[in-house]
Structure 1
Amino acid sequence: MKPLDRNISVLEHIVSYCQQIEQTVERFGNSAETFQNDPIYRNAAALCILQIGELVGKLTDEFRAQHPAVPWRQIKAMRNIVAHSYGTVDPETTWEIITDDIPALKKYCETIIASQQ
């Protein structure tokens, strides 16, 4: 698989996890209080964040360098925090990620995918 094809495939998977986060918010409710008080809700979102961070690590270095608008390193770092010390992840920070950062990441990835077709 060519690097560009691999990167696009990774982006498509990232978009899929962003959509799963959106569906999770729809299912449980768009409420920071509900999110804070429901460990199932938090865990569902955290797993998708973890998967997104894992996928970011599969993008080529060239691709990440060509798209500096996305904080790839921070996304990967959040994956490591979720994977290794979820109990210390602040629910408010996670809520901001799923309500602010994830929609922006999804849109950015969709734009890149569309530009390659």
Structure 2
Amino acid sequence: MKKDIQIPKVEGVYLAIVNEYNDIYKTHDWNAYIINDKEVDLEVVLIVTSGYSEKNVTATFRKKLDVLPKKSYAKIEFIPEELFALNNEFKVTFFEGNTMFEKNFVFRKNTINEKAFQKIPLMEMKGILVK
């Protein structure tokens, strides 16, 4: 039964959007990262992203990481500035041992900007963080 399913709470896994310099194109790009601040590796990390508003929906993007080592981070995708006017949702599913975890991270529309910067765990840079 549905009431018998236990979904454990996700802790120590975050999403961040940072503005960083791209050496190849000589531009400042906005990139999304997943951060594993846990003391254990995450396995079979699945990330499904999309942007939406009342009138618009973006294409769905999927990414898989076989392993996200403990105390590490990985780039998910580049985010064009025109998507900041949308809600940007990241659905993350992963295994920790034999237990599956799932969490939705949402960057609400117009919240991705330099005024909202804070220190990002493990990354030695500032950006927007969603826990």
Q: TM-score range by the shorter chain?
A: under 0.3
Larger Rg: 2
Kindly indicate which of the two structures has a greater share of residues assigned to helix: 1
Structure ranking higher in strand proportion: 2
Give the TM-score, by structure 2 length: 0.24
User: Whose RCO is larger (CA < 8 A, sep 6+)?
Assistant: 1
The TM-score, its normalising length taken from structure 1, stands at 0.25
